[in-house]
């Protein structure tokens, strides 16, 4: 019995050393409630190349990476559509590894009849915004800078002070430039713009 107790040093450590405040290791998942269950499951599995890890018709867990589910969808009949002008989450963003992946995804979804509602170069990211069948906005993006530090510096640039929102672009034009072989850094460089504020955004 003594040997068993002695094999639990972690318990003893925890008792004498209180942990410092700890942030989460990662963002785990997003859950949507919907009355269009099949439509939402189809949309998110298509857009994110996700697999349905589990579904019983009342709830579905969708997975596209090492996490058991990144998206969950709850089937709740009779829900009202979200009105504009309420507080809450604006959008969920997913990052791709490369501009090639983002362009390929745009083209794949375009063929499936799923098109972005707006596209913007924010500076730190090149972003395409989609709306799911319930109108929840989903951003598909690629980082424009090699490092987080470089992206962070942009927040303190004169360009960001003048326009912290971003510069609109046409996704087909972005795809054309990419396929032409144009330098990716040039494609992802946010162009100069006029002053722009939050009032120019569709905040719902
Ligand atoms: Fe975003």
Share of the chain above pLDDT 90, in %: 84
Provide the whole-model pTM: 0.89
Measured CA to CA, the distance from residue 45 to residue 57 in angstroms comes to 15
For the cut 70, the answer to whether the pLDDT of residue 122 exceeds it is yes
Per-residue pLDDT tens over the stretch 10-46: 555 666 788 899 999 999 999 999 999 999 999 999 9
Share of the chain above pLDDT 70, in %: 91
What confidence score (pLDDT) does residue 71 get? 98
What confidence score (pLDDT) does residue 168 get? 96
* Cα–ligand 1 centroid distance for 20 (angstroms): 30
Q: Residue 77: phi, psi to the nearest 5?
A: -65, 150
* Cα–ligand 1 centroid distance for 139 (angstroms): 6
Query: 7 falls in which pLDDT band (50, 70, 90)?
Result: low
Place of tokens 């969920």: 92
Closest CA to 115 of 196, 32, 175, 198: 175
* Cα–ligand 1 centroid distance for 201 (angstroms): 12
CA angle 82, 85, 197 (to 5 degrees): 130
For the cut 80, the answer to whether the pLDDT of residue 9 exceeds it is no
What confidence score (pLDDT) does residue 11 get? 56
The mean pLDDT value for 54-76 works out to 97
* Cα–ligand 1 centroid distance for 77 (angstroms): 29
Residue 96's DSSP bridge partners are 142
Query: 84 falls in which pLDDT band (50, 70, 90)?
Result: confident
Domain architecture of the chain: domains with CATH: 28-78 (3.10.180.10), 91-192 (3.30.720.110)
For the cut 70, the answer to whether the pLDDT of residue 5 exceeds it is no
* Cα–ligand 1 centroid distance for 167 (angstroms): 14
CB 188 within 8 A of CB 119: no
The mean pLDDT value for 74-89 works out to 93
Rounded to the nearest integer, the mean pLDDT of the chain is: 92
């Amino acid at each position: 019995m003594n040997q068993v107790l002695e094999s639990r040093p972690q318990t003893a450590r925890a008792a004498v050393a209180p942990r410092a405040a700890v942030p989460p290791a990662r963002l785990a998942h997003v859950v949507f409630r919907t009355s269009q269950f099949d439509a939402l499951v189809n949309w998110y599995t298509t857009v994110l190349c996700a697999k349905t890890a589990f579904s019983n018709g009342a709830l579905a867990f969708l997975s596209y990476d090492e996490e058991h589910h990144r998206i969950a969808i709850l089937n709740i009949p009779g829900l009202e559509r979200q009105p504009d002008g309420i507080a809450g989450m604006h959008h969920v963003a997913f990052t791709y590894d490369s501009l090639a992946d983002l362009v390929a995804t745009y083209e794949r979804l375009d063929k499936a009849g799923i098109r972005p509602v707006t596209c913007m170069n924010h500076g730190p990211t090149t972003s395409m915004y989609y709306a799911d069948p319930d109108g929840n906005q989903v951003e598909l993006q690629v980082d424009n800078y090699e490092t987080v530090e470089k992206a962070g510096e942009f927040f303190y640039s004169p360009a960001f002070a003048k326009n912290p929102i971003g510069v609109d672009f046409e996704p087909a034009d972005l795809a054309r430039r990419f396929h032409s072989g144009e330098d990716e850094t040039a494609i992802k460089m946010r162009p100069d713009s006029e002053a722009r504020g939050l009032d120019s955004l569709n905040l719902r």
